């Protein structure tokens, strides 16, 4: 049996395995789900062993655990390839907007619906299955392989750096391939050259010692929610420009060639508007929507709350207001500098009668740009061309994969991305799903990639 037939013959099992994994609510952002993240890691350990990987173990970090396994018998003349993915997921709130429960892993229309199905449990399973198919049908792999899967990607991999640093010998590789990412469409591939970085903060605005009666104290003291709104309104103008002094200082401006490459990838703005259900696009003036999405830094309010959120009316003057704010960064912005600028600016906007404090959120990522002519990227390019029958689009994305930067820093290797999630799969939102067609294609592509890298 060749590996293609092996994949076909075992596909039903692979689907049920992915559903099993999606059913584990491994939400890394929530302390109460720590045991679930661990359970997902244990599940991956078992699965890797079944695939034929060796030295498989779960390792603790200062936060969530990682899973490592390898197969290193291809010979010293063959490259060693580190395959990356993550088994943690985003929180599933708001639950009531899901058509089927987020951790049920419902199967319909050749898709699995569930939190993490696309990001990244479906992706992470792909190289494991490819390795199994090659090992079970040929008895070996064409290259030396190291599997490295983490459980904290969705919170920005805050405790991964010291682990990689302490285990750099174990993780050492000639190439890194990430199974976290996506493709252009079901029929068109892309090659990812740029990722945005990330830094975030939580802002707390406080007024009185306790909530007050708005009739007794309205007009006498400042309103924390109003003050926080004033601060946030001043962070970004109606022109979409971020007003934090120094924010754009280190941004590498797009060249004419960059803008041409971005413009080559198809983009229908009115389709984009329809798809999301927004009345219009909105971004930094002077740049196309695609340029803003891919290559300009952003500042977003991820959450804001204070006062009464229940039904009807409550005439309270709330004592406290909070907001979570994250910035997506582009080369050569750094999380440390942007955080310092943001914090200083927010504090400078403190309204009369209120106190403002800013705290850094866990999770950072430097922006990431792949150099021209990079070996793993070239191999991925060829595989995608073969699998899809056409050249991939050269793209960037606003998403962050902090581990790519970490691995570059600690191991000195630029990663390449080969992953099969699609933009419409509601990742980080209700009704996330993963196409089983992508799941099958991904398995084939990873088999081909390992063969090509070993040739």
Binding to a copy of itself (CB under 8 A) within 320-339 occurs at 321-324, 326, 328
Q: Which of residues 232-251 bind a copy of itself (CB under 8 A)?
A: 232-236, 238, 240
Residue 102 to residue 98: CA distance in whole angstroms: 7
Contact (CB, 8 A) for 29 and 154? yes
Nearest to 177 by CA among 139, 111, 131, 112: 131
Q: Which is nearer to a copy of itself, 169 or 352 (CB)?
A: 352
Q: Which is nearer to a copy of itself, 309 or 372 (CB)?
A: 309
Query: How far apart are the two ends of the chain, measured CA to CA in Å?
Result: 21
Determine, following the binding rule CB under 8 A, whether residue 75 of this chain makes contact with a copy of itself: no
Strand ranges of the sheet holding 433-435, from the earlier edge strand across to the other edge: 106-108, 111-113, 433-435
Binder of a copy of itself out of 65, 142, 156, 335 (CB under 8 A): 156
Determine, following the binding rule CB under 8 A, whether residue 298 of this chain makes contact with a copy of itself: yes
Provide, rounded to whole angstroms, the least separation between the CB of residue 348 and a copy of itself: 13
Residue 20 makes CB contacts below 8 A (sequence gap 6+) with 43, 105
Selected range binding a copy of itself among 67-75, 122-130, 257-265, 304-312, rule: CB under 8 A: 304-312
Provide, rounded to whole angstroms, the least separation between the CB of residue 33 and a copy of itself: 11
Q: 349-363 burial string, b = 16+ CB within 10 Å, else e?
A: bebeebebebebbeb
Provide, rounded to whole angstroms, the least separation between the CB of residue 107 and a copy of itself: 21
Determine, following the binding rule CB under 8 A, whether residue 270 of this chain makes contact with a copy of itself: no
Determine, following the binding rule CB under 8 A, whether residue 351 of this chain makes contact with a copy of itself: yes
β-strands 54-59, 66-71 pairing: antiparallel
Question: Six-digit token pair at 182?
Answer: 């996506």
Question: Six-digit token pair at 324?
Answer: 């979570």
Selected range binding a copy of itself among 85-93, 129-137, 339-347, 441-449, rule: CB under 8 A: 85-93
Binder of a copy of itself out of 72, 281, 340, 369 (CB under 8 A): 281
Binder of a copy of itself out of 126, 397, 405, 438 (CB under 8 A): 397
Selected range binding a copy of itself among 68-76, 168-176, 337-345, 356-364, rule: CB under 8 A: 356-364
Determine, following the binding rule CB under 8 A, whether residue 315 of this chain makes contact with a copy of itself: yes
Determine, following the binding rule CB under 8 A, whether residue 316 of this chain makes contact with a copy of itself: yes
- Around Cβ 369, how many Cβ atoms within 10 Å? 16
Q: Which of residues 184-223 bind a copy of itself (CB under 8 A)?
A: 196, 198, 200, 207-223
Q: Which of residues 12-71 bind a copy of itself (CB under 8 A)?
A: 29-31
Beta bridge partners of 10: none
Determine, following the binding rule CB under 8 A, whether residue 314 of this chain makes contact with a copy of itself: yes
Q: Which is nearer to a copy of itself, 82 or 427 (CB)?
A: 427
Provide, rounded to whole angstroms, the least separation between the CB of residue 113 and a copy of itself: 14
Peptide bond into 244 cis (omega under 30): no
Determine, following the binding rule CB under 8 A, whether residue 361 of this chain makes contact with a copy of itself: yes
Selected range binding a copy of itself among 17-25, 78-86, 253-261, 354-362, rule: CB under 8 A: 354-362
Determine, following the binding rule CB under 8 A, whether residue 305 of this chain makes contact with a copy of itself: yes
Q: What number of chain residues touch a copy of itself (CB under 8 A)? A: 101
Provide, rounded to whole angstroms, the least separation between the CB of residue 357 and a copy of itself: 12
Binder of a copy of itself out of 194, 363, 392, 415 (CB under 8 A): 363
Residue 20 to residue 426: CA distance in whole angstroms: 20
Contact (CB, 8 A) for 33 and 25? yes
Q: Which is nearer to a copy of itself, 29 or 265 (CB)?
A: 29
Q: How many CA atoms lie within 13 A of 56 on its CB side?
A: 18
Q: Which is nearer to a copy of itself, 338 or 450 (CB)?
A: 338
Determine, following the binding rule CB under 8 A, whether residue 228 of this chain makes contact with a copy of itself: yes
User: How is 20-86 classified by DSSP, letter by letter?
Assistant: HHHTS--BTT-GGGHHHHHHHHHHHHHHHHHHT-EEEEEE--SSS-EEEEEE--S-TTSPEEEEEEE
Residue 372 DSSP SS3: coil
Residue 411 to residue 167: CA distance in whole angstroms: 10
């Amino acid at each position: 049996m060749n590996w293609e037939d092996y994949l076909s013959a075992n596909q039903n099992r692979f689907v049920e395995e992915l559903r099993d994994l999606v059913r584990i609510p491994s939400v890394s952002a929530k302390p109460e789900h720590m045991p679930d993240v661990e359970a997902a890691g244990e599940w991956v350990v078992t699965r890797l062993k079944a695939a034929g990987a060796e030295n498989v173990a779960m390792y603790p970090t200062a936060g969530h655990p990682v899973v490592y396994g390898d197969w290193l018998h291809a010979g010293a003349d063959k490259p060693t390839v580190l395959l990356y993915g993550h088994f943690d997921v985003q929180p599933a709130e708001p639950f009531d907007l899901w058509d089927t429960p987020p951790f049920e892993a419902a199967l319909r229309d050749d898709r699995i619906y569930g939190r993490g199905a696309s990001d990244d449990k479906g992706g992470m399973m792909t190289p494991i299955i490819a390795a199994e198919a090659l090992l079970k049908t040929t008895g070996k792999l064409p290259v030396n392989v190291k599997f490295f899967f983490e459980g904290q990607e969705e919170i920005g991999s805050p405790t991964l750096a010291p682990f990689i640093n302490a285990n750099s010998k174990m993780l050492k590789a000639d190439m890194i391939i990430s199974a976290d990412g996506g493709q252009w469409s079901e029929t068109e591939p892309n090659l990812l050259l740029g990722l945005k970085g990330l830094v975030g903060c939580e802002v707390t605005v406080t007024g009185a010692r306790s909530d007050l009666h708005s009739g007794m104290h309205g007009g006498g003291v400042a309103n924390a929610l109003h003050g926080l709104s004033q601060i946030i309104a001043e962070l970004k103008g109606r022109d979409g420009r971020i007003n934090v002094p120094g924010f754009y200082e280190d941004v590498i401006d797009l060249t004419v060639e960059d803008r041409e490459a971005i413009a080559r990838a198809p983009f229908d703005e009115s389709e984009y508007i329809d798809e999301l259900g927004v009345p219009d696009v909105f971004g930094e003036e002077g740049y196309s929507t695609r340029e803003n999405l891919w290559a300009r830094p952003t500042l977003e309010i991820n959450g804001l709350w204070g006062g009464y959120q229940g039904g009807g009316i409550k005439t309270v003057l709330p004592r406290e207001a909070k907001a979570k704010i994250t910035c997506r960064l582009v080369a050569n912005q750094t999380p440390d500098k942007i955080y310092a600028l943001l914090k200083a600016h927010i504090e400078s906007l403190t309204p009369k009668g209120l106190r403002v404090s800013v705290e850094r959120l866990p999770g950072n990522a430097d922006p990431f740009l792949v150099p021209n002519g990079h070996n793993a990227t070239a191999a991925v390019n060829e595989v995608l061309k073969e699998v899809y029958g056409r050249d991939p689009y050269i793209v960037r994305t606003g998403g962050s994969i902090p581990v790519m930067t970490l691995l570059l820093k600690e191991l000195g290797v630029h990663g390449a991305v080969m992953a099969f999630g699609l933009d419409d799969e509601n990742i980080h939102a209700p009704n996330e799903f993963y196409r089983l067609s992508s799941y099958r294609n991904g398995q084939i592509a990873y088999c081909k990639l390992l063969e090509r890298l070993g040739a």
